[in-house]
Structure 1
Amino acid sequence: MGERKGQNHYYPPDFNPVKHGSLNGYHKTHPLRERARKLSQGILIIRFEMPYNIWCDGCKNHIGMGVRYNAEKKKVGNYYTTPIYRFKMKCHLCVNYIEMQTDPATCDYVIVTGGSRKEERWDMAENEQIITTGNEWAGN
């Protein structure tokens, strides 16, 4: 079956590889299809997974880490030579849009508009657990 993968395309009788270049050129479509509809504006549609728990500002509901969205990805700047990307997605519970962008300085994501981060810090002393100093795992 693997040997047929390269031959599994229909080439119409009026297809000319010199004139059209590829089947996408013949059909006048982009290889990314519908995901590239805003490419002229510098926006690519991607599948984005929420990196942490947030609260939506529109409906005040919780959006859990790992929820996936179709997001618009756009380059908004650079941090030295690392690009900074902004992601715009619609809340699945209301009509509010959430915008997040990468923060290469802290290796994290920052919510620009539409939501707020749900802070969940675990303090071992507050929860009466043993605090390790770091030398217990040395294997002495």
Structure 2
Amino acid sequence: MPDQGAATYSSSREVDLDRTRRKRKRGSPLRNGENTGAAVGCAECGASQSPMWRRGPAGPKTLCNACGIRYAKAKRRRTHLEELLPKLREEILTPAVLSGEEEVYAALTLMAISSEHFLNASQQR
């Protein structure tokens, strides 16, 4: 009888070793039922596996982790610029246009565009 117990112990130990030897796959695959769209995978880059599926413009779980983070950052930047532009128009751009100084208006518009580029470059770092 002791041999049977030893055999059971060794066989269960072998099973445990097999489980630990298996390579763990990173990221969860996206199943057909989880996606709101027809295509399976990231709507932006087409990835089929991701550690986390994120909300995109097409709805929940439509973007992979990387694209979802990029989308959220871009959305925050747009929101910030939308809040900033009306202030610029009221304080700077409107008086320049009303006084007929089109060159000043063009220069300020160029500054606003370049500041947007600067914001994008600094937030990517």
Q: Which structure carries more helix by proportion?
A: 2
Q: Which structure carries more strand by proportion?
A: 1
Asked if TM exceeds 0.5, the reply is no
Greater relative contact order (CA < 8 Å, ≥ 6 in sequence): 1
TM bucket (normalised to shorter chain) is under 0.3
